[in-house]
Amino acid sequence: MVVELYTQHIFEKSARFQTILEATGYQGIVVGSGETKMQFQDDMAYPFKANPYFREWVPLATRSGCYLQLIKGASKPRLFLLTVEDIWHTAPESLPEGFEQAFEVIEYANLDEIKTMLEGTNSAFINETNTLDIAAEDWNPPAVIHQIDYQRRGKTAYEQACVREANRGAVPAHRAAQQAFMAGASEVQIAAAYLAACDCRESEMPYGIIAGVNEHAAVLHHHNLFKQPQTPRSFLIDAGVEVNGYASDITRTYAYDSGSDFAAMIELVNQKQLELCAEGGIGKSPVDIHVLSQHKIAEVLIDFDVLRMSAEEAVANSIAASFYPHGLGHHLGCNVHDKGGQLANAEGDVLPPPEKYPKLRSGAPMVANQIHTVEPGLYFIPAYLEKLKAGEHAHLINWSRVDEFVPYGGIRIEDNIIVHADGSLENLTRDAFAATT
């Protein structure tokens, strides 16, 4: 079944790229996996990860020097694999069994050889570095990149299956991290428990594990994990896994004392998050849903007597944004923050961001088969709290209540959802948690 899904995926991607060739006037598109990078003044390489434009076609995340060629009118893409004798390193990653049937596979030994194989076609070259000495105007041409980013918003059945499996694979690791926190482990030990449970190396993570204990849960991207255990109060874990190059992106927050007000606040944020997940749909505006999420977080703060104003006042005066300073979510795929979220069309015109929320990652209406994250947050961030205390609305904030919650850091709950072509919504994350005991 996986091979059938993958074969259909390549067929659909090839058809989309034929459309891109027609639109841009190129006769071919060559996508490179990328090159190994060496550490400065050393003979050791950094961990390699293939570029996402390549991984969407070929699940060879750790194999450098590969090239995929799409030719106008060709029945199959050509896949060039660098194959050299090397006694020093482990054999390079291979395609899953049966996947090679989707390509004309060609092995090559050096750059001169592949340059000869690829010459003579008017091709766009998509790669981080211009390894093949392509003319500057044909290396990552914006016209082609925009077309790719626009069409990749809707995911094939294979891509959906990969992200679905990535959610399933992350759930046991999330549970292991929670158990480690409850046992009093340090942040580094919690991350180690996560990696062990999903049987992955750290370099295989789609992004660095965020594991914030207590006040560190208020650091939105807390990657500098502490080795010293702390007396546990709260814990925020933001981590996924990767399947065939596709990521899951899941966040959960826990209270050590299940009877605390902070535990009750987590539960209310969880309820609001589920309500926001249900708001998705074809044609829906991510901006409108983000504004709704600001109101819902304001409602939580009011319910817990942190704010003494209406939700409308809290949003209008950016009080809610001081407790919830990021966007509601983003597209998800081979990029954890997948591209195309702001594109108005395939020509690259960008939708203007809302004046009040200029940094939102998603502004374009949702389309069929898109995968989104939904991740409202509520944080007690000292730097923002100091600004609020010095502002004109300070008297409408219950500072003694704020002081009670500051030691807990904050809350974020994140699910991955598919907006299906029939209008239904599939919550990959909740389904994965429900299926994995």
Check whether residue 94 and residue 242 sit in a common domain: no
Q: Please name which of 77, 78, 84, 43 lies closest in space to residue 63, comparing C-alpha atoms.
A: 84
Check whether residue 144 and residue 286 sit in a common domain: no
Check whether residue 318 and residue 179 sit in a common domain: yes
| pTM (2 d.p.) | 0.96
Q: Which residue has the tokens 């046992």?
A: 183
Choose the final residue of a domain: 98, 116, 151: 151
Please give the mean pLDDT across all residues of the chain: 95
Which domain, by its residues, includes 94?
A: 2-151
Check whether residue 68 and residue 209 sit in a common domain: no
The distance from CA 364 to its chain's CA centroid, rounded to whole angstroms, is: 17
Check whether residue 228 and residue 347 sit in a common domain: yes
Distance CA 72, CA 14 (A): 10
120: region left, alpha or beta (phi > 0 left; psi from -120 to 50 alpha): left
Tokens read off for 410: 């904050």
Check whether residue 348 and residue 429 sit in a common domain: yes
Choose the final residue of a domain: 102, 127, 151: 151
Check whether residue 118 and residue 249 sit in a common domain: no
Contacts of residue 144, defined as CB under 8 A and 6 or more positions apart, other chains included, come to 20, 24, 26, 29, 124, 126
Distance CA 320, CA 311 (A): 8
Distance CA 272, CA 71 (A): 48
* Number of domains the chain contains: 2
Q: Please name which of 405, 387, 388, 407 lies closest in space to residue 397, comparing C-alpha atoms.
A: 388
Distance CA 253, CA 237 (A): 6
| Cα separation of the two ends of the chain | 26
Check whether residue 126 and residue 180 sit in a common domain: no
Contacts of residue 242, defined as CB under 8 A and 6 or more positions apart, other chains included, come to 61, 166, 204, 205, 206, 248
User: In CATH, what number is assigned to the domain containing residue 194?
Assistant: 3.90.230.10
pLDDT at 90: 78
Contacts of residue 422, defined as CB under 8 A and 6 or more positions apart, other chains included, come to none
pLDDT at 178: 98
Check whether residue 215 and residue 146 sit in a common domain: no
Check whether residue 255 and residue 315 sit in a common domain: yes
Check whether residue 231 and residue 353 sit in a common domain: yes
- pLDDT, one tens digit for every residue, the chain (437 residues): 699 999 999 999 999 999 999 999 999 999 999 999 989 999 898 999 999 999 999 999 999 999 999 999 988 999 999 988 777 777 788 999 999 999 999 999 998 999 998 877 799 999 999 999 999 999 999 999 999 999 999 999 999 999 999 999 999 999 999 999 999 999 999 999 999 999 999 999 999 999 999 999 999 999 999 999 999 999 999 999 999 999 999 999 999 999 999 999 999 999 999 999 999 999 999 999 999 999 999 999 999 999 999 999 999 999 999 999 999 999 999 999 998 999 999 999 999 988 899 989 899 999 999 999 999 999 999 999 999 999 999 999 999 999 999 999 999 999 999 999 999 999 999 999 999 87
Distance CA 380, CA 90 (A): 47
> Looking at this protein, which amino acid is placed at residue 378?
L
Choose the final residue of a domain: 102, 129, 151: 151
Residue 311 in contact with residue 124, Cβ under 8 Å?
no
Contacts of residue 260, defined as CB under 8 A and 6 or more positions apart, other chains included, come to none
The distance from CA 74 to its chain's CA centroid, rounded to whole angstroms, is: 32
Q: Please name which of 43, 378, 62, 38 lies closest in space to residue 244, comparing C-alpha atoms.
A: 62
Q: Which residue has the tokens 């050393």?
A: 42
- Angle among Cα 14, 364, 50 to the nearest 5 degrees reads 45
| H-type alpha helices, 248-335 | 261-277, 286-303, 311-316, 319-323
Contacts of residue 113, defined as CB under 8 A and 6 or more positions apart, other chains included, come to none
Tokens read off for 373: 């994250």
Check whether residue 197 and residue 100 sit in a common domain: no
Neighbours of 302 (CB within 10 A): 17
User: In CATH, what number is assigned to the domain containing residue 125?
Assistant: 3.40.350.10
Neighbours of 339 (CB within 10 A): 21
Distance CA 197, CA 168 (A): 12
